[in-house]
Amino acid sequence: MDKELKMDQNTITGIIGSGAMGSGIGQVAAMAGHKVVIYDNNTASLDKAKASLQSTLAKLEEKGKIVSAAEIMGRLTFAPEIGALAPCGLIIEAIVERLEVKKAVFAEVEALVSDTCILASNTSSLSITSIAAACKNPARVMGLHFFNPAPLMALVEVIPAIQTDLVLLAEAKALIGAWGKTAVLAKDTPGFIVNRVARPFYSEAIRIYEEGIADMATIDWAMTTIGGFRMGPFTLMDYIGHDVNYVVTETVFTSFFFDPRYKPSFSQKRLLEAGWLGRKSGRGFYNYAEGVTQPQPDTDDYKGKIIVDRILAMLINEAADALYLNVASAADLETAMTKGVNYPKGLLSWCNEAGLSTCLATLDALYDQYHEDRYRASVILRKYVAENKEFIF
């Protein structure tokens, strides 16, 4: 790049996609003082986004959290024509998670904007390198992965493609900080940090359920009451939606060359096939129809601790392996899981607290029982136990 990424009040931010994520990122940028163009060729979606943002900002003004909703709305332009993105200095794409669609959009947008415009994708699991390859100047492409809802969630994963001009990373992190968010740096690997490390929270919970060790309500109870998580895995999957959660799992599994650690489940796939997407459709793992009595958990502390220890060991192992393979620094791994998915503590800190040898013993016992690669312990965990070391941040 001839020029560094420099963001000030005069820089226009473009958002591609007016769904919940796109409009949420647009709100964040506008509240930080930037002019924002939200582009979507679906005018109904644009109108819905505009009305939703007006309502949200009016409520924030009423609560005294912002001075003027009208002033912030005045910075937002809702455009049905892609040409409206031409004057933007930063464009963030937040559309459907389909690689070929994203590549086509990036190629089209690159032809419209200046040579110094930065192009970013909000993809949660697709290759930034593949997206960048669609551009004539891939050095200006990176990933900026916000979490839903973007105005409330603190974390943004900054992901360089292998082609990205690395001078942009410090500028991107500074921008994210100016927007009131916390940036972590992640290698361009499937799922980046959060969607990679968090997979066992869902998949191991489903495995325990499928084996008949405990029902969904009991697993959710154990993970919240004993584990301290804000939501149990089945409640959270229903909240996220199986059309999103399952697809991310399947994408990560495929992208990791079918590593069994990320293997999806038939239980969740069948829900997706049935259209039981969770809360949004009224039924998922749980039935949300009016008058339905929800199942009650077995609140046996001994069983609950076994469930928590098993899922937690798998989560810790995933975080340790991400560190071992230089996906992110130890500090960024801790930040990502506490601010990106609101875990009660960082997984590496949790491992230190529980004892690395205890975590390793849990994983080795599972491997001895199942003889599945799913339960193989990370090299770094085994190495640190042998050397009597702990994780350092």
The active-site residue, picked from 18, 23, 93, 145, is 145
Of 48, 52, 46, nearest to 15 by C-alpha is 46
Is 145 catalytic? The answer is: yes
Compute how many other C-beta atoms are within 10 angstroms of the C-beta atom of residue 334.
22
Q: Say if residues 321 and 191 touch (Cβ distance below 8 Å).
A: no
CA 208 to chain centre: 24
Cβ burial of 231 (10 Å; 0-12, 13-18, 19+) is middle
Beta bridge partners, 92, equal: 15, 120
| DSSP calls for 208-236 | HHHTTSS-HHHHHHIIIIIT--SS-HHHH
The active-site residue, picked from 110, 157, 318, 334, is 157
Helix 301-324 to helix 356-370 angle, to the nearest 10 degrees? 100
Map residue 81 onto helix, strand or coil: coil
The active-site residue, picked from 23, 121, 122, 195, is 195
The single-letter DSSP state of residue 145 is: E
Is 195 catalytic? The answer is: yes
Residue 255 is which amino acid?
A: S
The active-site residue, picked from 23, 45, 124, 352, is 124
| DSSP calls for 325-356 | TTSS-HHHHHHHHHHHS--SS-HHHHHHHH-H
Residue 369 is which amino acid?
A: Q
Residue 137 is which amino acid?
A: N
Q: Say if residues 122 and 145 touch (Cβ distance below 8 Å).
A: yes
Radius of gyration of the chain (CA): 22
Q: 247 vs 214, 231, 272, CA distance in Å?
A: 25, 20, 9
The single-letter DSSP state of residue 295 is: P
Cβ burial of 154 (10 Å; 0-12, 13-18, 19+) is middle
Is 157 catalytic? The answer is: yes
Both tokens assigned to 107: 């190629």
Read off φ and ψ for residue 93, nearest 5 degrees.
Answer: -90, 130
Both tokens assigned to 231: 């939501």
Provide the annotated active-site residues: 124, 145, 157, 195
